[in-house]
Amino acid sequence: MKKKNRQQDDKTNVMRILEQKGIPYTPKHYAHQEGVAVDGLTVAESLGQDPESVFKTLVTRGASGSYYVFDLPVGEELDLKKAAKAVGEKSVAMIHVAELLPLTGYVRGGCSPVGMKKPFFTTFHETAILFDEIAVSAGKIGAQVLVEPNALCALVEGQFADITKE
């Protein structure tokens, strides 16, 4: 029986998609308890990254029934009114955690804007463009990827907007 290469095992679908599309990234891993989501500020600290450059991925449903993805710095809070305006909805609301896996293919704490089951319109907080690289989940708890924000936004056909609370 052939032993699997550990590096190969650590590669997520997010990393495979980035490679397939020719988008450079740096994989980062952090310690965590198996299956337990870690809050974003702890992730940023574990990675030695500025929390403003580490982005969490949130999924919402608009008044129209459409789903939207928002990526914002881990220390910030999504402003639902600004988020709705950014995507042209009357309102948006966070989906229930139980809906996340069936809808996106990702678990809480491992949700990435890249490689969801279906593409959803994605908005990154406007501060993303201030960084050479931002960190987003690599699609599982314990793994992140550092990616150039414009390349990431282009990949998911997203936009940048002010979506956080003051």
Q: What's the CA gap between 34 and 160, in Å, rounded? A: 33
124 alpha-carbon distance from chain centroid: 9
List the CATH code of the domain at 6-161.
3.90.960.10
Q: Where are the beta strands (DSSP E) in 12-88?
A: 25-29, 55-62, 67-73
pLDDT truncated to tens, each residue of the chain (166 aa)? 444 444 445 799 999 999 999 999 999 999 887 766 678 998 999 999 999 999 999 999 999 999 999 999 999 999 999 999 999 999 999 999 999 999 999 999 999 999 999 999 999 999 999 999 999 999 999 999 999 999 999 999 999 999 999 9
